[in-house]
Structures are given as C-alpha cells and as structure tokens.
A and B are shown apart, each in its own frame.
Chain A
C-alpha cells in the first residue's frame, strides 16, 4: 500500500502530498531532503545496456564500519560535522551488503576475496584463483585447479585491462586480476619451494603482459621484479634469486616502465604499448606520507586515459591497498587519509566515464576489528575523543565522555592490535589500564586507537562489507549477496545482448 502511495506521489508531485498531509514537520530541511531522496529513487531506471567498461574499486579492509569512519573524516576535513557528508560512491543508485567469508575462513584474507570477485567462486584463505579442492601451497595439485579470470574474459572480448594498487602490485588483491597461485606469499621466485613448477606472481604479471591480457599496471613491489644484485632507483635491492630482471623483460616487450612521480607524469597514452609503474620497492606510501609518487586518483586518471584508447572498452581494477595496512597498525588517521584518497579516485573515475556505458563497482574485500563507541555528540572528531552531546544545540559541547574509570575514550577503537591497553610485562604476562588521553594526543596522525586484545597486528573481521554500483546492470546488486556474485554481475554486464 505504501508503495502505491509513493508511486502516486511521483505522478502528482511530492510537494502536493506533503502539503495535502499538512504535517507540521513538512517545512523542515530534513523532511524536504528526504522527499528529494524519494524523488530520486523513483526516477531510477535499470540500465540494461551492454557494459563497454567495468571499473572495480576495492578499498582493502574498508567494511561498513571503516567506510563510515572515512565519511566522517572526509566531512570533517571540509569543516562539517561529518555525518552529513556524502562520499562519491554513496550517490550510486544500487547497493548491497556482501558476505565475505572464504571457503575455509569465517574471517577471510584478501586472497580468496579477490578471487571471488575475479573468478566468480570462493576460495581458501591464502590462495588466489585456485579451486578450493586444493590444499594451500599444494603446488602440484594447484597446477590443474586454476580458474579463468575476468581479465582474460575481457581480453577475449577485445577489451583492455588495467590493474592499480597502492600496495605491491603482486599483493593479493591486484594479483587476483592476473595470477593463479596456491600461495599469496609467492610474490617472487625466492619464495617458491624447491621443485615447484608454479610461476611466482611477479613473473605471471609479465607473462600476462606478454599475452596481451594486462595493458596497464601501477603499484608498488619493485623488489619482486628485480634480481638481488640489482639496486633500484631508490637504492633498494631486488629479491629475485633466479637472476631475472622483469623490469628489463617488460621493457623488451615494448612496455613503458616508470618508477616515480616524474616519469609517471611523462607517460604517453594511445600507442598500444603496455605500461608498468612500480613506484616503491614494497608498498607505496600511505597518503599522509606520500612523496615522489602519484596519488591513487592520478593513477586512476592515467589508466583510464590509456585504456580508453581501445574502442572495445576496458576492465580496470583499482585498489586502495593501504586502508587495510593502517587498520592492521591500529592507526586510524592513516586509514582515513587513504580512504579519502580512495574516494578521490572514485570521483575521478566518475568524472572520466559515462554511466550509460561504464559499470563502476565500489566495494571492499573484508572488514577489520574496528569498533565504535557512543554516545558521542555530533562533530566529535572521528579520530579524537567522544564528546558529550549538546542538549541545547547541535554540535558537541566540548566535554569528553568518560568511562567508568574516569578517563575519556575515542570515538573509534579496535578489538585487538598494537594499541592494546594490556602491555607485556617483564615476566611475560599482560596487564595494564587505559592511559589517560587528551584530544591533542588522540588526533595526532601517529596515534594508535586503544585496543583490547594484545596482538602485534590488528586483525580482519568477517563482518559484511558494502557494494555500491552505477552503470549497466548495476541494479543486479541488492539485498545481501555472496562476494563471488560481484564477478557474475560484471560478467553479465559485459556479455548482455
């Protein structure tokens, strides 16, 4: 009945209904904004065109909770209270919740989650694009249990493929775009067990470049492409023990290879040569610390510019890989600064593509053990202390809420990790109490939010993540879905007649 009423409202005009009902709250900004939202929702029509391009954005470790924190951070950076801020992907018309567990893990790591999105099936923790009938690190069995990748399907359709990550380009999420491996740790040959015929991940990237599958790759991980006796542009040595210099091999394939902000800026698109950007020996820098490297938005722009020269379209996977790493550190400030850089990259992709022919999907691979306290007044700094609500106004009153121990607490914290309030004692036991805390200390970019269980690194969690989508067939996202459904939406979108 309610639905019929709303449809009627669309015909008659929502303002008419509001005034007809003569509600005392109808003049409120909240009321009007909600009416506008209803009008927008009523105007949404499914796009059943064939997708020319697909862009898959993944912020590693950016579950619903982390995404919420990034929203507040971004809004507060602009001078707002934070809650009201709308991230670019939060304007997308279609959203679902995503179940991220893996074949054998209630809590997934980034290998099977990326596999789910790139192969359409779930896999085991630690393995990438290998069927879950195989045991982790079973080299021989893995050789016959690889999946076909969405990048390979797209290539067969004549599309170009790009992969970007702020982590190492051989790290799990980007690796799942082009590689199959029974161990995510086999990023170069030195990690392979003796007698194992499987190629390492870096070597597989070059193979896929040679095969014409990968056209653009930007990220970190230079050391996995260089032999141990070669020093890179930043004075760091390679890790390969097979003597192969994959950078030279890529150049030999005709690829443009770049290592820093300067040569990145000089890249030329449109000559149909592959592009390889390796901006760090290991992971690229956190956005807060970034120097001499392109931003995620800049890499996104360069990749779209290069891939768009193919009239058949492209598949581009873009990962903000270090949202996850900062969460592992328990350092919320860097989580959120990298999250904002992720949102900026999404905005850039929206600007450079057309929703009529480009499916953009924004998601995460998994959530973390991040958690949120209450009852904070509006405008409490998301990395700072949880302030009391202001009963006479809107913004918090500047007085920190206190725990039963008489000490203030931050808006966000972690269930485990390096910020644990339990400290190892000389006898090996753990004990302690919550340190006292000022707003200045809590908002310092190097501060670690308080955590409960002591661990050297904070953990992932199995909590749902969200998926936001716009463009062809994005309306297939809805409800609560398994993570591997994402592949099937992409595959349907590019193949739909």
Chain B
C-alpha cells in the first residue's frame, strides 16, 4: 500500500456528511457565473465536502498546501511571469504533506469547506474558498 492509498482511505471510511449522495461535486459547481458562491457551496460550508478537480503544480515543496483548479493548469509560455491564478480555484490544506499528482490527472479532494477571504500567513496566498483537513485521491 503506497502513500496515495493511505490518503485515500479516510475518504471511504469517514462517510462525509455533506457529500452529495451521487458523489463529489465539480469545482466549478462551487461558483455561480458571476463568481459568487453557489447554493451548493453555501449549503456545504463548515461540513466535509468532496470536490473534483486538478492539482496545480504546488507552490512549495513538502507542503500541505496546494491549489485545486477546474481544468489542468496549463502554463502558457507567452503569458507573463507570475501569471495570476484563475478566479475560480480552491485552496486545499491537506492533513499530511502533499504527495504531488501531475497537473493533468483528475483528483477528488475531500475536506472541510471554508468560505470567505483569507490570506495564508506563510505563503501570502489569498483565497476565497478552502478545503481544510483534506485528503485526496486520483479518480
């Protein structure tokens, strides 16, 4: 059993209360078109939620933090250095140091949904929505 399997275990065992019966929601479903939070996000706030997306290349090695994007975070070679993140992302704080998954492999992340502006004190990363105490697995 490798690390990824270990990380995946809690997802099966915990039976998260806020996860829809028909499985994880898509990252885009947390937002309305005008980038306000969707009813699905508002109703799940504070509970455990499973969200499907892609792990952007982590900002820092050996960290519990990564960003979930709705599509693979392709890096445009002609885009400016330090290109800003898309507006509709999800900041993830994992239970354990992140075992990096390639940026174009779909994953499901499960954690406690937090809404509202926050700046990471260590990374300075600004987020509007987060999953904390999270685990993840490849789909």
Q: Does B60 contact A (CB under 8 A)?
A: no
Cβ-neighbour of A423 out of B76, B83, B102 (below 8 A): B102
C-alpha gap A68/B32 in the complex (Å): 32
Least CB distance from A82 to B in Å reads: 24
With A185-B81, A282-B84, A457-B75 already in contact, the answer to whether A291 and B104 are too (CB < 8 A) is no
Task: Name which of B8-16, B39-47, B66-74, B90-98 contacts chain A.
Answer: B66-74
Bound complex: CA of A289 vs CA of B34, how far in Å?
A: 9
B84 to chain A, nearest CB (A): 5
- Asked if B74 and A423 make an inter-chain contact with CB atoms under 8 angstroms apart, the answer reads no
* B81 partner residues in chain A, CB cutoff 8 A: 185, 191
Interface residues of B: mostly helix, strand, loop or mixed?
loop
Q: Within the assembled complex, what's the spacing in Å between the Cα atoms of A236 and B117?
A: 13
Checking A172, A281, A325, A419 against B104 with a beta-carbon cut-off of 8 angstroms, the contacting residue is: A419
For chain A, residues 409 to 450, give those with C-beta under 8 angstroms from any C-beta of chain B. Answer: 417-420, 423-424, 446, 448
Q: Which residue of B lies closest to A425 (CB)?
A: B102
Q: Is B28 an interface residue (CB 8 A)?
A: yes
Give B53-85 interface residues, CB cut-off 8 Å to A. Answer: 70-72, 74-81, 83-84
Q: Which residues of B contact A331 (CB under 8 A)?
A: 71
Cβ contact of B74, chosen from A187, A329, A446, cutoff 8 A? A329
Known: A291-B34, A292-B34. A328 touches B76 (CB 8 A): yes
Chain A stretch 445-460: residues in CB contact (< 8 A) with chain B: 446, 448, 456-458
Residue of B nearest to A168 (CB): B80
- Whether A109 pairs with B78 at a CB distance below 8 angstroms is yes
- Which of B33, B74, B84, B105 makes the CB contact (< 8 A) with A289? B33
Q: Which residues of B contact A448 (CB under 8 A)?
A: 71-72, 104
Chain B residue total in the interface (Cβ 8 A): 23
Produce 1/0 per residue, A346-363, CB < 8 A to B: 000000000000000000
Interface size on A, residues (CB 8 A): 31
Q: Is B1 on the interface with A (CB-CB < 8 A)?
A: no
Q: Closest residue to A126 on the B side, CB-wise?
A: B78
**Contact yes or no, A456 B103, CB < 8 A:** yes
- Is B71's CB under 8 angstroms from A329's CB? yes
The residue that B78 contacts in the complex, of A110, A282, A291, A424, with Cβ under 8 A, is A110
Max chain B CB contacts within 10 Å: which of A110, A191, A329?
A329
> Which chain B residue lies CB-closest to A446?
B71
In the complex, given contacts A291-B35, A424-B102, what are 4 additional A-B residue pairs having Cβ atoms less than 8 angstroms apart? A168-B80, A330-B72, A330-B74, A448-B72
- The interface of chain B, by Cβ under 8 A from chain A, is 26, 28, 33-35, 70-72, 74-81, 83-84, 88, 102-105
In the complex, 17 of the A-B residue pairs with CB atoms within 8 angstroms, ordered by the A residue number, are A109-B78, A110-B78, A168-B80, A172-B78, A184-B78, A289-B88, A291-B35, A292-B34, A328-B74, A418-B103, A418-B104, A419-B72, A419-B104, A423-B105, A457-B74, A457-B75, A458-B74
